[in-house]
C-alpha cells in the first residue's frame, strides 16, 4: 500500500481495509500482530472490528513493541479527519443533516432511471436455446402453467411470484405455483401430470450471496421423486429461465428451452414475460459460455 499505491501510483486518499473479522484477515497471522501490522503497512481505517477495545489494545501493544510508529498513527488520523472535512461531515452533523431528508428520495424511480432499466432488461435477456420450439407461449395452446420458483430466499421468491403470476394471468394463462410434495399429497402419475399442466415454467432465483460457496440448484425431492425435478421435459413444454446465475445449464442440460435474464427486478420480469409470449424479440448475447462446455447442454 505504501510503496505501490502511495509512491508509484500517487494515491493520496484514504485506504480502508475489508471487513477485518473475516477469515482472510484473521487467518493471515495472530490478530495481536495483524492489527498493528495492517496500519503500519498503510491501512488508515478498519472496516469492522472483532472487538473494538481489544483491537485498540492490540494497536497500542504494536506501538510499544515497535511494529507501529506514532508518526504512522498521526498520518492515518490526519487522512480520516481530512476525509470527514472533505465530505463536510462536521457541518452536516451540526445541522442534523448527516441522514438525508425524505425529499432526497425523490431521485428513486426517476423517469430516466426507469427508462434505462427497461432498456437494459429488453436488450440483455438472452435466449440460449429453444431446440424444441416451445416459444412463444400462447394461452390458446398451453393455458395451464406450472410455475416453479427455485431459490434460497422465500421472501425474494414471493416478490417474483407476486409480479410474474398477475402478468401471465392477465394474458390468459392459469398459473399453478408448485408446492412441495409430502406424504399426504403422494405422487402423480405421468397421465395425471399431463392432465393438469400444459407447460412448465422454471424461474431460477439463485443469486450469488455472502458465504455461499456455490450457486448450484438444490432440487426438492421426496425419496428422489416429485415434480420439482424436471423429469417431464419430454412430456410437456418446459422452459427454464435463470434470473441470476447464467451457468444453470450445467444442472439442467435436459431442458430444451433455456433463457438467461441475469436479474430479478421488475423491469426484467416484465420484459421476460413479453419475450416469452413473443411480444418482444430476444436481443441479448451471452457474455459467457452458457453451455459450460457440455455437449449435452446444447441438445
Contact (Cβ atoms closer than 8 angstroms) between residue 48 and residue 19: yes
pLDDT of residue 103: 87
Q: Write the pLDDT tens digit of every residue in 11-57.
A: 999 999 999 999 999 999 999 999 999 999 999 999 999 999 999 99
Q: How, if at all, do strands 174-177 and 144-150 pair?
A: parallel
pLDDT of residue 185: 83
Examine the residue annotation and report whether 51 is marked as an active-site residue of this protein.
no
Q: Is 210 buried (19+), middle (13-18) or exposed (0-12) by CB count in 10 A?
A: exposed
Q: How confident is the model at residue 186 (pLDDT cuts 50, 70, 90)?
A: confident
Report helix, strand or coil for 276.
Answer: helix
Continuous H helices in the chain: 23-26, 31-41, 52-64, 70-86, 89-94, 111-124, 154-170, 190-196, 266-276
pLDDT of residue 222: 87
HSE on the CB side for 147, CA within 13 Å?
22
Q: How confident is the model at residue 275 (pLDDT cuts 50, 70, 90)?
A: very high
Who's near 213: CB < 8 A, 6+ residues apart? none
Identify the active-site residue in 18, 51, 74, 234.
18
pLDDT of residue 6: 93
Kindly tell me if the per-residue pLDDT of 109 is higher than 90: no
Q: Angle 154-170/266-276 helices, nearest 10 degrees? A: 40
Residue count (the chain): 299
Q: Write the pLDDT tens digit of every residue in 69-90.
A: 999 999 999 999 999 999 999 9
Q: Write the pLDDT tens digit of every residue in 141-179.
A: 999 999 999 999 999 999 999 999 999 999 999 999 999
Kindly tell me if the per-residue pLDDT of 102 is higher than 90: no
- Percent of the chain topping pLDDT 90: 87
Segment 178-199 mean pLDDT: 92
Cell of 288: 459467457
Q: Cell numbers 455472502 label which residue?
A: 210
Segment 87-112 mean pLDDT: 90
Could you tell me the fold of the domain covering 116-298? Rossmann fold (3.40.50)
Kindly tell me if the per-residue pLDDT of 107 is higher than 90: no
Please give the model's pTM, rounded to 2 decimal places: 0.84
Segment 59-75 mean pLDDT: 97
Phi/psi zone of residue 42: left (φ > 0), alpha (ψ -120 to 50 degrees), beta?
left
Instruction: Return the domain boundaries, the chain.
Output: 2-94, 116-298
pLDDT of residue 49: 95
Mean pLDDT of the chain: 95
pLDDT of residue 101: 85
pLDDT of residue 100: 84
Cis peptide before 136 (omega within 30 of 0): yes
**Torsion sign, CA atoms 30, 33, 35, 38:** negative
Provide the Cα torsion 139, 197, 215, 248; round to 10°: -70
Q: Write the pLDDT tens digit of every residue in 209-241.
A: 877 888 999 999 988 889 999 999 999 999 999
Kindly tell me if the per-residue pLDDT of 113 is higher than 90: yes
Amino acid at each position: 500500500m505504501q510503496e505501490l499505491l502511495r509512491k508509484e501510483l500517487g494515491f493520496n486518499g484514504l485506504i480502508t481495509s475489508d471487513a477485518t473479522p473475516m477469515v482472510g484477515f484473521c487467518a493471515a497471522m495472530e490478530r495481536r500482530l495483524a492489527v498493528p501490522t495492517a496500519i503500519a503497512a498503510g491501512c488508515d481505517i478498519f472496516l469492522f472490528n472483532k472487538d473494538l477495545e481489544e483491537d485498540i489494545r492490540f494497536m497500542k501493544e504494536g506501538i510499544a513493541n515497535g511494529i507501529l510508529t506514532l508518526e504512522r498513527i498521526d498520518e492515518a488520523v490526519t487522512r480520516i479527519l481530512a476525509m470527514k472535512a472533505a465530505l463536510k461531515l462536521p457541518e452536516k452533523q451540526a445541522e442534523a443533516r448527516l441522514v438525508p431528508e425524505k425529499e432526497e428520495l425523490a431521485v428513486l424511480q426517476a423517469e430516466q432511471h426507469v427508462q434505462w432499466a427497461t432498456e437494459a432488461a429488453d436488450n440483455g435477456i438472452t435466449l440460449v436455446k429453444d431446440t424444441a420450439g416451445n416459444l412463444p407461449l400462447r394461452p390458446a395452446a398451453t393455458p395451464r402453467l406450472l410455475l416453479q420458483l427455485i431459490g434460497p430466499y422465500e421472501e425474494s421468491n414471493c416478490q417474483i411470484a407476486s409480479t410474474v403470476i398477475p402478468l401471465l394471468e392477465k394474458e390468459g394463462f392459469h398459473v399453478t405455483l408448485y408446492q412441495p410434495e409430502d406424504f399426504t399429497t403422494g405422487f402423480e402419475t405421468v397421465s395425471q401430470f399431463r392432465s393438469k399442466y400444459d407447460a412448465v415454467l422454471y424461474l431460477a432465483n439463485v443469486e450469488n450471496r455472502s458465504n455461499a460457496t456455490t450457486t448450484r440448484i438444490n432440487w426438492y425431492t421426496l425419496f428422489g421423486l416429485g415434480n420439482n425435478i424436471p423429469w417431464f421435459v419430454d412430456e410437456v413444454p418446459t422452459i427454464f429461465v435463470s434470473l441470476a446465475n447464467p451457468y444453470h445449464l450445467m444442472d439442467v442440460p435436459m431442458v430444451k428451452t433455456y433463457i438467461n435474464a441475469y436479474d430479478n427486478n421488475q423491469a426484467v420480469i416484465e420484459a421476460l414475460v413479453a419475450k416469452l409470449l413473443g411480444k418482444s424479440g430476444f436481443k441479448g448475447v451471452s457474455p459467457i459460455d452458457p453451455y459450460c462446455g457440455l455437449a449435452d447442454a446444447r441438445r
